[in-house]
Amino acid sequence: MYQYEFPHPAITTDIVLFTIRDKQLKLLLVRRGSEPFKGTWALPGGFMQIDEDLESSARRELAEETGIEGVYLEQLYTFGAVDRDPRERVVTVAYYALAASDQMVLRAATDAEAVDWFDMDTLPELAFDHRQIVAMAHKRLVAKLDYSTIAFQFMPQEFTLSELQDVYEIILREELDRRNFRKWILALEQIEETGREKRQGAHRPAKLYRVIDPGRVEIIK
Amino acid sequence: MYQYEFPHPAITTDIVLFTIRDKQLKLLLVRRGSEPFKGTWALPGGFMQIDEDLESSARRELAEETGIEGVYLEQLYTFGAVDRDPRERVVTVAYYALAASDQMVLRAATDAEAVDWFDMDTLPELAFDHRQIVAMAHKRLVAKLDYSTIAFQFMPQEFTLSELQDVYEIILREELDRRNFRKWILALEQIEETGREKRQGAHRPAKLYRVIDPGRVEIIK
DNA sequence: GCAAAAGTGTTCCAGATACACCCATGT
DNA sequence: ACATGGGTGTATCTGGAACACTTTTGC
């Protein structure tokens, strides 16, 4: 038992992990194995330990619940409505995360818990205020596409310009002119040719590119 | 005494309140009246109550410690390094706030506490990790000036275009062309003439303007 | 009449947009 | 040979940047 002179809230971290698969923007959810909201889909996340910092907590929860490690992670917003958890006062620090779908090995579902990817436009009912958290993360993702190089976080090590353009088109939900897109993305000087090609199907092979500084997300304005 | 099965951190809110006064960007600080960091300047803020939400906590602390109410307030970032407070584990949700200096009546200092405004370029030593919090708030303020109408939050009800331009120049630390600034700011259609003038000194009077929707901060891209 | 800030338009440049044809491959 | 996606250049438009003189007032 831990005792305090005045009441303390609990702190959780929740992670909104996006990826792109099958030409769709996907969101990772876990099915809750315990009350409250048992059986309902929710964001991966959970209680912060007293001796770990916030980002470590988010990474640990993501790894424990889904087996996923090493993704791009950024703090999103902190949600603290008084009644957002029926058990006790819980403040959650939400993160959003992006990953290339080929980087991820989903852990075989532990316990009775299930983990799965959902299309952003056909999400199930979500536990707590997770719908609101997802909405904010999605808005931020769309906004950041315009003024940062965050889209590269969705790409595998090598990719074609068409694949990269697909990512932008899927997230922005609009078609882009191929020539203008290529001019723009190359002018950023954030990607370079690998010298290799991707042959696929009955047409001209596409040059493969890599991100010059894969860990970094640049503000491009 | 309050008991929990596992240890809970404390949650605080801290407020980085900016204003513009004497052609300088100023920051509000309070001198700590108790340990730790007794006597050191710090951001206004304090422990969140178990039955209030985060923003309410920030507004309450600001009002209690400084007497200031009704300012523009926006969540900044949540700081949770394990050792950021020597007493116990404390996670702080930082807010930044902006106000017109004429709107604010500083409360006469209560207790042994002092409250004062400091120039951003001559800040004293700060308690905890507040220097880092201030740095992030300042960076955000400068960035938001470019893509939102946040600067209006510094203005009194009626103001001249020169006064508004001063605000931009002080925060951006660069001079702006008067004609271009006026063209740009009027094209936003966020301010309108009041029909009144400001006569001051031996020169042509300036038209007074007001913000059309003072509560709102628009993203202008 | 003079000092001091307010007010006002046009030119220029750079970055974004629109747009169509040839290329290399597999079948 | 043909179907498929890959690759490329130019003309136009638009928003931002540079730039100087006249107006109104108080003293």
d(CA A136, CA A142): 10
How high is the pLDDT of residue B110?
57
- The answer, yes or no, to whether residue B74 has pLDDT greater than 70, is yes
Q: How confident is the model at residue B102 (pLDDT cuts 50, 70, 90)?
A: confident
d(CA B57, CA B76): 14
CATH of A10-144, one of 3.40.250.10, 3.40.50.280, 3.40.50.1970, 3.90.79.10: 3.90.79.10
Crossing angle (nearest 10°) for helices B161-172 and B178-187 = 100
Residues of chain B positioned with their CB less than 8 A from the CB of A93: 78, 80, 91
- The answer to whether domain B10-144 and domain B150-211 are alike in fold is no
**Cβ <8 Å between B80 and A48:** yes
List pLDDT tens digits, range B157-201: 999 999 999 999 999 999 999 999 999 999 999 999 999 999 999
Q: How confident is the model at residue A58 (pLDDT cuts 50, 70, 90)?
A: very high
Residue that the structure tokens 């009027």 belong to: B186
Residues 154-173 of A, Cβ under 7 A from nucleic strand D? 160-162
**Cβ <8 Å between B54 and A8:** no
For residue B42, give both structure tokens. Answer: 């710090």
The answer to whether B78 CB is within 7 Å of strand C is: no
Q: pLDDT > 70: what percent of chain A?
A: 96
List pLDDT tens digits, range A19-50: 999 999 999 999 998 989 999 999 999 999 99
B161 closest-nt by C1' vs CA: C6
Residues of chain A positioned with their CB less than 8 A from the CB of B48: 9, 80, 91
Amino acid at A73: L
**Cβ <8 Å between B80 and A54:** yes
How high is the pLDDT of residue A110?
57
Q: pLDDT > 70: what percent of chain B?
A: 95
Residues 139-198 of B, Cβ under 7 A from nucleic strand D? 177-180, 184, 187
> CA separation (Å) from B79 to A135, B11, B135, B155?
23, 10, 13, 30
Average pLDDT over every residue of B86-90: 96
Burial B173-200 (b: 16+ CB within 10 A, else e): eeeeeeeebeeebeeeebbeeeeeeeee
- The answer, yes or no, to whether residue B214 has pLDDT greater than 60, is yes
How high is the pLDDT of residue A104?
72
The set of strand C positions with any atom below 7 Å of a protein CB reads: 2-10, 16-20, 23-27
CATH of A150-211, one of 1.10.540.10, 3.40.640.10, 3.40.50.2300, 1.10.10.10: 1.10.10.10
- The answer, yes or no, to whether residue B147 has pLDDT greater than 80, is yes
How high is the pLDDT of residue A112?
46
Crossing angle (nearest 10°) for helices A130-147 and A161-172 = 130
Q: How confident is the model at residue B14 (pLDDT cuts 50, 70, 90)?
A: very high
How high is the pLDDT of residue A221?
79
> Does residue B87 belong to the interface with chain A, where contact is any CB pair within 8 Å?
no
Average pLDDT over every residue of A54-81: 96
Average pLDDT over every residue of A72-80: 98
The answer to whether B178 CB is within 7 Å of strand C is: yes
CA of A180 to C1' of D10 (A): 12
Select the more confidently predicted residue: A221 or A56: A56
List pLDDT tens digits, range A143-160: 999 999 999 999 999 999
> Does residue A87 belong to the interface with chain B, where contact is any CB pair within 8 Å?
no
A176 closest-nt by C1' vs CA: C17
Is residue A123 within 8 Å of A43, Cβ to Cβ?
Answer: no
> CA separation (Å) from A3 to B1, B4, B8, B18, B164?
6, 7, 9, 38, 52
Calculate the average pLDDT of chain A.
94
The answer to whether B179 CB is within 7 Å of strand C is: yes
CB pairs under 8 A between A and B: 86
B201 closest-nt by C1' vs CA: D26
Residue ranges per structural domain of chain B: 10-144, 150-211
Amino acid at B90: V
